[in-house]
């Protein structure tokens, strides 16, 4: 009898081990899959950006293109909410959607203008890896007459689809920078989200 149980438990142990390995392997495979997806998302985004940089269009046309790229690949609602900070809690749904729309235009103009300096340059994705609860896709920007610089994209699928939610340029965190900036603008408008939204449209 004693022998039987031990056989059973050994068998159970083996089965458990096998199951455990499968259970362990599955998320590993899923993670590997998503890292590849995150990388290919940024590959596509970078391809679109490079096409705009090389298009030779006017600045306003380029900014329009960047807004479409930003809306397509970035998790704009979550970036906007995060930039707005604690005030997002008190804002109504309508206020949030108006703010998000204005924020999207503001970011596209601000960064789209900066991308003009990228004309003649290219961005190349070099690596991707899971970090904590998100994926970091690493790219290198090579600009004419400049030392190459490091551009990192933070990607998550928490919105339901894979999107980037932050950009790190030579260590400078875009989300942190926009939190400081939007926070300062909100202070200037005495905490009035509608006034901030109106101001963003002209910034």
> Can you give the binding site for other proteins, defined by CB under 8 A?
75, 78-79, 81-82, 85-86, 88-89, 110, 113-114, 116-117, 131-134, 136, 143, 145-147, 149-150, 152, 154, 156, 158-159, 165-166, 168-173, 175-177, 179-181, 184-185, 187-188, 203
**Minimal CA–CA distance to 39: which of 182, 154, 181?**
154
Q: Which is nearer to other proteins, 7 or 203 (CB)?
A: 203
What is the CB neighbour count within 10 angstroms for residue 187?
A: 10
- Shortest Cβ distance from residue 43 to other proteins (Å)? 20
Structure tokens at 100: 């998000």
Q: Which is nearer to other proteins, 10 or 129 (CB)?
A: 129
- Shortest Cβ distance from residue 149 to other proteins (Å)? 6
Q: Which is nearer to other proteins, 23 or 34 (CB)?
A: 34
**Minimal CA–CA distance to 69: which of 107, 123, 121?**
107
């Amino acid at each position: 009898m004693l022998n039987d149980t031990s056989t059973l438990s050994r068998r159970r142990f083996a089965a458990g081990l096998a199951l455990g390995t499968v259970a362990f392997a599955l998320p590993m495979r899923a993670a590997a899959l998503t890292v590849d997806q995150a990388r290919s998302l940024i590959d596509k985004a970078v391809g679109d950006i490079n096409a705009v940089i090389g298009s030779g269009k006017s600045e306003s046309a380029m900014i329009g293109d960047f807004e479409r790229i930003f809306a397509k690949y970035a998790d704009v609602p979550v970036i906007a909410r995060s930039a707005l900070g604690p005030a997002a809690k008190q804002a109504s749904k309508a206020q949030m959607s108006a703010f998000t729309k204005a924020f999207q235009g503001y970011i596209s103009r601000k960064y789209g203008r900066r991308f003009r300096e990228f004309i003649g340059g290219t961005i190349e994705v070099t690596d991707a890896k899971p970090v904590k609860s998100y994926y970091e896709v690493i790219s290198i920007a090579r600009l004419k007459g400049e030392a190459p610089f490091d551009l990192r994209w933070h990607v998550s699928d928490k919105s339901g689809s894979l999107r980037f939610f932050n950009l790190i340029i030579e260590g400078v965190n875009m989300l942190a920078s926009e939190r400081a900036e939007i926070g300062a603008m909100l202070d200037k408008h005495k905490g009035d989200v509608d006034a901030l939204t109106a101001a963003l449209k002209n910034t």
